[in-house]
Amino acid sequence: MREIKIFDTTLRDGEQAPGCSMHLKEKLEIALALERLNVDVIEAGFAISSKGDFDSVKSIAELIKNCTVASLARSVKKDIDAAYEAVKNAVSPRLHIFLATSPIHMQYKLKMSEDEVISKIEEMTKYAKHYISDVEFSAEDAMRSDSAFLAKAVSTAIRAGATVVNIPDTVGYASPREMSEMITYLRKNVENIDRATISVHCHNDLGLAVANSLAAVEAGADQVECTVNGLGERAGNAALEEVVMAINTRKNLYGGATRIETPEIYRTSKLVYNTLGLYAPINKAIVGTNAFAHEAGIHQHGVLQNRETYEIISPQSIGLPSNNMVFGKHSGKHAIEERLADLGHTLTKEEMEAFFESFKNLADKKKSINDADLEALLGHKISPFAEKEYKLDRFTVNSGNYVTSSAVVRLKYDEQLIEKVSIGDGPVDAAYRAVKKIVKAPEHSVDDYSIHSVTEGNDALGEVIVRIKCGDKVYTGRGLSTDVIEASIIAYINGINKLL
């Protein structure tokens, strides 16, 4: 069986999606989750693009021990220098350079002739190679390139030392048949192709990223580039969990398997959604709420007789426990700890103490607490962003349909209590205006606000997500409470703490 390598680019291409930029500590947490998932390569960022990106690639390279860590670089010396500086301390570093090969990109973006592109590929691959032996070359917009020219570009890169040659469908234009034909063509027509791993990187503009990646695997590609939950530029990239579960479920069809620890999939997906303040669409393959729900009577009957009548993968195989347990205020710490472990979360002693405290607070307000509540509580650990941060101490709001809403909010900052009052257009607006008077934050606006109920019932936890815009950056704040005004204030304060 072939081993199909999984190259995760959640922290690079995923982060390029609008509103998906992440803080260093969030990136480190995701990198650790990717390591537990056992991906082969973590693309940690684009080192030259900003100081923040450089620092996060460097920190991830120094933290991760069991995966290759890559940085992206244009085919330009200063990009490659920065990428090298950022990944050089990794146990297994990789430089990932790219240059476009399609007529439209060469003419309008690069303003280079075919010959110039070929010599640039040779020169920059050699330049990257003099730093690190593991060099990946990507022919940007490969799937709209002339196949003979692409073959020349790929063989040039391999001759210059590339160990991986990546064939991106940069704009999500290809069909599965074209993808398969292109990989087959390159395997036949690039004389030195056996000296490198063939990789694919498919975007999802026409909803075909996973299908195209799998078609490439069938045709002989040995590395797939993908992102958790399919996040990425525009409509995103191929979803890691879908690619992995498709290959693992149909090993014989693909003649290969991945090394992914599939029971880590669910929790990694949750972590990425939580970090970005997003939710899986309910019908999302593999990780959506309905992915394993059988509603129709005929289906339920079949599954009860034999699970495989309607279920091709088990919930446990992606880390979803099969039974649901309910807890309440009499539940002990040990039982909660065991349940968290079943859900795939191992907490340190201190983390467990803090978690149990928030569990008890919730149990005072909510009669029955289930897995969704536990996971929501876990996703709302106190934000680890600043030494000193604002915390909600107390608030009062007065609101109605015939009075002007008003709010008094008291925050704690560095042992100091600060209280302000404001009126507003509704209780949330009044509270946010009061918070804004307290915090010493640069000019910003709340661009988006959403509220969602974690479980059913009147006493359900409400989860609020706000997006705060400051300059060209967007910060996501999340708040959780059985009181939606409290959840709203906490979400705003958490976003402000991140911004600060």
The CA distance from 85 to 104, in Å, is 32
- Does the footprint of ligand KIV cover residue 13 (CB under 6 A)? yes
**# chain residues binding ligand KIV, by CB under 6 A:** 10
* 45, 168, 344, 424: residue in contact with ligand KIV (rule CB under 6 A): 168
* Site track 63-82 with ligand KIV (rule: CB under 6 A), x = hit: ---------x----------
For 301, the 3-state DSSP assignment is helix
Name every residue whose Cβ is closer than 8 Å to that of residue 357 and which is 6 or more positions away in sequence: none
What does 98 bind: Zn ion, ligand KIV, none (CB cut-off 5 to 8 Å by kind)?
ligand KIV
136's tokens: 């990946």
Taking the least distance from each CB to Zn ion, the nearer of 141 and 373 is: 141
Backbone region of residue 415 per phi and psi (left: phi > 0; alpha: psi in -120 to 50; beta: other values) = left
The CA distance from 226 to 203, in Å, is 9
Residue with tokens 């030195």: 192
**Contact region for ligand KIV (CB under 6 A) — 162-170, 250-258, 303-311, 395-403?**
162-170
Q: 218: part of which helix (H) or strand (E)?
A: helix 209-219
What does 138 bind: ligand KIV, Zn ion, none (CB cut-off 5 to 8 Å by kind)?
ligand KIV
Nearest to 99, CA basis, from 196, 166, 160 = 166
- Rounded to a whole number of angstroms, the minimum distance from the CB of residue 3 to Zn ion is 23
Nearest to 423, CA basis, from 442, 439, 403 = 403
Taking the least distance from each CB to ligand KIV, the nearer of 168 and 176 is: 168
- Does the footprint of ligand KIV cover residue 390 (CB under 6 A)? no
Q: Contact at 8 Å (CB) between 242 and 291?
A: no
Sign of the CA dihedral with 141 first, then 145, 151, and 155 last: negative
- Does the footprint of ligand KIV cover residue 140 (CB under 6 A)? yes
Residue with tokens 């950056």: 473
- Rounded to a whole number of angstroms, the minimum distance from the CB of residue 52 to Zn ion is 20
Taking the least distance from each CB to ligand KIV, the nearer of 166 and 406 is: 166
Q: Contact at 8 Å (CB) between 468 and 445?
A: yes
**Contact region for ligand KIV (CB under 6 A) — 151-159, 165-173, 241-249, 406-414?**
165-173
* Site track 13-42 with Zn ion (rule: CB under 5 A), x = hit: x-----------------------------
The CA distance from 340 to 318, in Å, is 15
- Rounded to a whole number of angstroms, the minimum distance from the CB of residue 79 to ligand KIV is 11
- Does the footprint of Zn ion cover residue 169 (CB under 5 A)? no
Name every residue whose Cβ is closer than 8 Å to that of residue 395 and which is 6 or more positions away in sequence: 407, 408, 409, 410, 431, 434, 485, 486, 489
Residue with tokens 């897995």: 371
**What residue number has its CB nearest to Zn ion?**
13
- Rounded to a whole number of angstroms, the minimum distance from the CB of residue 209 to ligand KIV is 10
447's tokens: 């661009």
Taking the least distance from each CB to ligand KIV, the nearer of 169 and 371 is: 169
- Rounded to a whole number of angstroms, the minimum distance from the CB of residue 168 to ligand KIV is 3
- Contacts with Zn ion by CB under 5 A lie at 13
- Contacts with ligand KIV by CB under 6 A lie at 13, 72, 98, 138, 140, 166, 168, 170, 201, 203
